[in-house]
Chain A
């Protein structure tokens, strides 16, 4: 029964889809729109797929729609997200555990840096670190060899390191980092 299958997919993957959309777009408002779009696409596709939806398949649908969305908005995929959108989004943020102000600031900067990565690097980082997909699963989603997946992950993290290093030079953040390191 289509409804049962859809309900199972939604229960299993809705957080993965929403997380991907959130870290991809950088705002909760866009993430909600994107998640709706992905769920509707899954509903429409359930009749045509042969086997039950897998994590890789759901990730692939999500990624494709995120790319379409970015194109529709006529934004370059690696362009910085608007500061206004992020500021507006702050009002919607409701973390389960309230982190310290320093920690929250650092996390916000990292989320911002992820959203500014080039699309492929952003995708592998989100799928690996947040979606917890295996290298093989990411390889299926992106249709690329396993070694390329690893290489993209390393390059993505290296780019984050380069971009965040400048931020860490801020006195306040550097002190926070020093506390954690030593």
Chain B
């Protein structure tokens, strides 16, 4: 039979099931016959239960706000204004913004390389057919990017991030460009 002092050392491990089967059985036998150790076991069980029920403490919002004030204050404010509810928008938002930026850059390049005023001279194409084909290809590619980005993000881009006032003229501009290219090719 085990001694009380030995059992006392093993009660927590016994409760957690971390003892070898033989040792656990011997602890159980001792507890069954010793009122003092039984009380200790009951207290150990109560404490284990009480510990498990201790609540996770909710971090006050002011702690986070205080940290935000300390880290890169200016960029942080800009960042928050741009992305009001980041936790919900993040994956689509990042993808959409990336595509939109890429499309915008492509459009700008297209316009700077092939300004509309120089497309035709006296009814005759100023550029070679290869150049026009290349311009058309790039413009359509840019248009495709915008379409793709819009289809991926839809309302998020239009309603929350990029105002319709920016998107709509952009689309109209691209359509006008592609239309002009088509006309130029036909003539």
Q: Which residues of A contact B (CB under 8 A)?
A: 1, 3-4, 6-7, 10-11, 14-19, 22-23, 31-32, 35-36, 39-40, 43, 95-96, 106-107, 110-111, 125, 129-130, 150, 153-155, 157-158, 160-161, 164-165, 168, 177, 180-181
Q: Say yes or no: B43 contacts A154, CB within 8 Å.
A: no
Please name all residues of chain A whose beta carbon is closer than 8 Å to the beta carbon of B168 when the two chains form the complex.
none
In the complex the two chains form, what is the Cα distance from A16 to B62 in whole Å? Answer: 16
Q: Which residues of B contact A (CB under 8 A)?
A: 8-9, 11-13, 16, 18, 40, 42-44, 46-48, 50-52, 54-60, 62-64, 66-67, 70-71, 75-76, 79, 86-87, 90, 94
In the complex the two chains form, what is the Cα distance from A32 to B60 in whole Å? Answer: 8
Q: Say yes or no: B79 contacts A3, CB within 8 Å.
A: yes
B interface majority secondary structure: helix
In the complex the two chains form, what is the Cα distance from A130 to B76 in whole Å? Answer: 32
Q: Say yes or no: A157 contacts B54, CB within 8 Å.
A: no
Q: Say yes or no: A18 contacts B57, CB within 8 Å.
A: yes
* 27 chain-A/chain-B pairs, Cβ below 8 angstroms: A3-B79, A4-B94, A14-B64, A15-B58, A18-B59, A23-B54, A32-B62, A32-B63, A39-B63, A43-B71, A106-B50, A107-B50, A125-B51, A129-B51, A129-B52, A150-B13, A153-B16, A154-B16, A157-B12, A157-B44, A158-B11, A161-B11, A161-B43, A161-B44, A161-B47, A168-B43, A177-B46
